[in-house]
Chains A and B, each alone.
Chain A
């Protein structure tokens, strides 16, 4: 599904970051851990924007970040179906039906006509997740989507991802391995010089190993 060969991560105005290679098979799901500034988000952006060092077997990519990127004036259902609108596709009755089903899955079906600006942060994150799911993308990139949420909402969001993303190829960028516990098994760790792994997420139940892996190579 995704092959990265010797991709050099760079961020304008900063020293070069790691040069990395990574391969993901279809349906493979990993957590990408790392400290701030190691280039995790830069890697996801590079995957979306494309690079000669990245080979993708699909053009259907979904991206969910810490900012839900919802149109505040639009209704919840319109935000979920925003991709169809922006591509100029006709929104069929079954698309609306699927959007409503997904809103039910994220427990927001009662608020489908409410404006996005009237929702709480956790509700907005769930709408953004429903939008990712309605796109039915092959590759799902999650860039710290739970970072601004409280602990209970994070657990709820992780459970929803676990239920609603089976079979998808997923990269979850996070600082906190607990976001991926009970959902993902494998983790890679990005430092400023290299990409390490794969690790078992359960290995990071003790903070000691995680700290050691994060520090090493910096």
Chain B
């Protein structure tokens, strides 16, 4: 309980502030619904929200896994070669510099309005933080270790597999943590541009009908989903903290 409380207080404060704003300024419910109204909608629309949350959750999780796998693999392929990094880095940076909204219609055109286009959007937004962090991990091989390892006369493949790769994993996991927090952007933007299910779709639909309370309820569910995924990734990444060379 004492571990949860510090996280709960800011949330309680925010909800109280939200409620106060609604009461003091007498804000109409279609502009900003009060927390109790959102809570009621959340409860009464639970099956509807659950179905759409499942779609968005799958898009986020699959996109996170695929994007992380691609990001990690790309880093492994170019990690040992500065030349390859110089060649590929502009393309990697451009893939992130283009606004995801600009790419979304093209992906819809190519991959359709179903799951594949949302997966592609999420993957695209996820892979770069993982690539960049993993590359930083490959560069983290302590220079003070160079001479020692040289005298062990290692094979390059063994050095990569047994030393450089495990050293890079905590950095890669740090990238996955960042990626987990941006994965909802890819999924929801994809749903906004074109879909028939998902929390992004539901929000757009509710917006058109003036159901602001449903929009807020969908937003809350999305927040909870994002937090759960981030917490799971965070817990997983802690398993690799001991790979830090600073411990030795």
Contacts and interface: CB of A to CB of B under 8 A. Distances in A.
Contact of B144 (A69, A72, A86): A69
A25 interface: no
Contacts of B242: 72-73, 115, 117
A66 B33 CA distance: 63
Range for the number of chain B residues in contact with chain A: 20 to 34
* Interface-centre pick from A69, A82, A83, A124 (highest chain B CB count, 10 A): A69
Interface string A65-87: 11111111100000000110111
Given A65-B144, A88-B158, A70 B151 contact: no
A86 B248 contact: no
Nearest to B240: A73
Given A69-B145, A69-B148, A83 B153 contact: yes
Interface string B121-155: 00000000000000000000010110111111111
Nearest to A44: B147
Interface stretch (B62-70, B159-167, B178-186, B230-238): B159-167
Contacts of B142: 67, 69
B243 interface: yes
Nearest to A128: B148
B236 to A, nearest CB: 15
Contact of B148 (A49, A65, A87, A137): A65
Interface in B220-248: 242-245, 247-248
A135 interface: yes
A61 interface: yes
B115 to A, nearest CB: 37
Contact of B158 (A59, A69, A85): A85
Interface string B40-76: 0000000000000000000000000000000000000
A146 interface: no
Provide the main secondary structure of the chain A interface: mixed
B144 A82 contact: no
Given A71-B163, A86-B158, A86-B159, A63 B248 contact: no
A116 B151 contact: no
A88 B248 contact: no
B244 to A, nearest CB: 7
B148 A63 contact: yes
A115 B158 CA distance: 20
A96 interface: no
Contacts of B155: 86-88
A72 B243 contact: yes
Contacts of B248: 67-72, 116-117, 124
A48 interface: yes
B153 A72 contact: no
A62 interface: yes
Given A71-B163, A86-B149, 16 more contacts: A45-B147, A63-B148, A64-B148, A67-B144, A68-B248, A69-B248, A71-B248, A72-B242, A72-B247, A73-B243, A86-B154, A86-B162, A87-B154, A88-B158, A117-B247, A135-B152
Interface of B: 142, 144-145, 147-155, 158-159, 162-163, 166, 242-245, 247-248
Interface of A: 44-45, 48-49, 59, 61-73, 82-83, 85-88, 115-117, 124, 135, 137, 141, 143
26 contacts: A45-B147, A48-B151, A63-B151, A64-B148, A66-B144, A67-B142, A67-B148, A67-B248, A68-B248, A69-B149, A69-B248, A70-B248, A71-B166, A71-B248, A72-B242, A72-B243, A73-B166, A82-B152, A85-B162, A86-B158, A87-B152, A87-B155, A87-B158, A116-B248, A124-B248, A135-B152
